[in-house]
Amino acid sequence: MTATPEQKIPFEQWDAPSGEWTLPGACPVRTNRTLLLEAATRFLFPVVLVFSVYLLIVGHYAPGGGFQGGLTAGLAFVLRYIAGGGSEGVEIGSRLRLRPPVLMGTGLLLAMITAFAPVLVGRPVLSSAKVSFLGVEVVSSLLLDVGVYLLIIGVVLDLLRSLGSGIERDAEAGQGERP
């Protein structure tokens, strides 16, 4: 946070956080909150996401790729769920406007389009080409990896929804004990 002349932040508060330390939208009435975890998640979440994108892009030449990147990004959401989620799925549900199946479908669709696209220029299915993009050499199969990345994030979110908040909701409704 850099101080602009308009804001006039006092010198002692130059490193004060601009937002809440806890997770936005986290259920305020929950009794078993772990503040330490919530605050740590606040820091870790963007870092893990950026690292997952790094894994996604670097995957063509070094260890990484869409699957690994997607799982890493998924873990970031798992962390948020553990810190702020609950039976209502407050944390994930309140922040996420996209439904996980749609994310999965979009990823799969992107991968399939990338698979078919070379046919349009007379190359075999699934072949890739190097493209110079803003001075950086990018392989066109990166798009396929992006599709896989989205697909895996969708799968993790769907698991969090069904096996995470879904089960907790069942347990609270007293349906947890089945024959």
Partner 1 sequence: MSTLVTLPVLLPILGAALSVIFVRQATLQRLIGIVVLVAVCVVAAVLLVAADRTGPVVVELGGWPAPVGIVLVADRLSALLLLISTVVTLAVLVYAIDQRISDYGRDTASTTFHPIFLLLSTGVSLAYLTGDLFSLFVAFEIMLAASYVLITRRTNAERIRSGMTYVIISLTSSLLFLTTIALVYASTGTVNLADLAGRVAALPPGLRTLLSMLTIVTFGIKAAMVPLHFWLPDSYPNAPAPVTALFAGLLTKVGIYALLRTQTLIFPGDGPSAVLLVLAVLTMVVGALGALAQNDLNRLLSFLLVSHIGFMLFGLAVDDARGAAGTALYIVHHITVQATLFLVSGLITRRTGTVSIDQMGGLARRSPVLAVLFAVPALTLAGIPPTSGFVAKLALLQAGAAGTVGTVVVAGFVVLASLLTLWAVVRVWIRVFWGADKEPLPDDDPHDELVIGTSKTSAPMYVASAALVAVSIAIAAAAGPLSAVTERAGADLIARVPYLEAVLG
> Can you give the binding site for partner 1, defined by CB under 8 A?
99, 101-102, 104-109, 112, 115-116, 119, 123-128, 179
CB of 101 to partner 1, least distance (A): 5
Q: Which is nearer to partner 1, 3 or 102 (CB)?
A: 102
- Pick from 70, 91, 67: nearest CA to 79: 91
With contact defined as beta carbons under 8 Å apart, do 118 and 126 qualify? yes
Residue 158 · residue 92 · CB < 8 Å: no
Tell how far CA 81 is from the center of its chain: 12
- Looking at beta carbons only, is 22 or 128 nearer to partner 1? 128
Residue placing its CB nearer to partner 1 in the complex, 40 or 112: 112
Task: Report how far apart, in Å, the C-alpha atoms of 46 and of each of 78, 81, 157 are.
Answer: 13, 15, 17
What is the smallest separation between the CB atom of 24 and partner 1, expressed in angstroms? 28
Q: What is the DSSP string of 46-100?
A: HHHHHHHHHHHHHTTTSS--HHHHHHHHHHHHHHHHHHH--TT-HHHHHH--S-H
Q: Shortest distance, CB of residue 119 to partner 1, whole angstroms?
A: 5
Q: Which is nearer to partner 1, 126 or 167 (CB)?
A: 126
Shortest Cβ 60–partner 1 spacing (Å): 14
Nearest approach, Cβ of 113 to partner 1 (angstroms)? Answer: 8
At 168, list the tokens.
């907790």
Closest by CA to 110, choosing from 144, 140, 141, is 144
Q: Which is nearer to partner 1, 50 or 112 (CB)?
A: 112
Spatial neighbors of 151 by CB under 8 A, at least 6 apart, are: 66, 70, 103, 104, 107, 108, 111
Nearer to partner 1, 13 or 127 (CB): 127
The least CB distance from residue 100 to partner 1, in Å, is 9
